[in-house]
Amino acid sequence: MPLDVVMLGRPGAGKGTQARRIEGHFGIPQIGTGDMLRAAIAEGSDLGGRVKAIVDGGDLVPDDLMVELIRARLADGTGAGFVLDGFPRTLDQAEALDRMLGEIGRAISVALDFQLAQGVAEERLLGRAALEGRSDDTPDVIRRRFDTFRRQTAQVSEHYRARGILVGIHADRSVDEVWAEVCEALEQAGGRSDS
Ligand code: AMP
């Protein structure tokens, strides 16, 4: 059975860090939609040009664009599973993902819900801003991204809770402590170490 994982939780919760660990340990590709969009912007592609102002402002890229991006990516090398970081961010995206997977007889195995207070997440993002220089890690845009999360993304957790596959993660702990929780959840969901 493929291990199909989604990572949920507000910006700054540490989803990307853990998704990269999952990729290394469980041998499934990490698919970060924010990374894909930033790469498109850096390349100056058509897609990049269309989304730059939206990403820089901390709003969501339209669902149809995101769903097509994910559809193309999932068709490529995800036979053993995948870990999605940053998608789905709306209920419509979650439903589109279910339909896409359903067409090939698959379904999300587990949804990890990274929980931490907004103040802690904000401090982390401000710290990261100094290291990575992301254009959307300024104080104003960070606030906007939290608003966007609260208005459009937070309810996505309920979609997976209703299916009984939502697992809460104490995301305010150290990277290694969070990793231990993540591993336990994925092993319970049938994931096996690649190494
Ligand atoms: P992230 O790196 O996940 O924080 O994403 C950075 C930005 O990319 C977000 O603030 C959105 O503007 C955009 N983005 C990433 N994933 C999605 C998505 N699934 N739906 C809409 N916009 C997205």
Residues 95-114: pLDDT tens digits? Answer: 999 999 999 999 999 999 99
146 lines ligand 1 (CB under 6 A): no
For the cut 80, the answer to whether the pLDDT of residue 165 exceeds it is yes
Model-level pTM?
Answer: 0.96
Q: Look-up: residue for tokens 């439903």? A: 95
Q: What is the mean pLDDT of residues 109-132?
A: 95
Residues 37-56: pLDDT tens digits? Answer: 999 999 999 999 999 999 99
pLDDT interval class at 187 (50, 70, 90): very high
Residue pair 40/47 in contact (Cβ under 8 Å)? The answer is yes
Ligand 1 closest atom vs CA 86: 3
Instruction: Quote the pLDDT of residue 195.
Output: 60
Please count the CA atoms within 13 angstroms of the CA of 144 that sit on its side-chain side. 13
CA of 116 to the centre of ligand 1 (A): 19
Instruction: Quote the pLDDT of residue 108.
Output: 98
Q: Kindly list the catalytic residues.
A: 15, 89, 128, 134, 145
CA of 195 to the centre of ligand 1 (A): 31
Instruction: Quote the pLDDT of residue 33.
Output: 98
Lowest mean pLDDT among 8-12, 79-83, 125-129: 125-129
Ligand 1 closest atom vs CA 89: 19
Percent of the chain with pLDDT over 90: 92
> Is the bond into 62 cis (omega within 30 degrees of 0)?
no
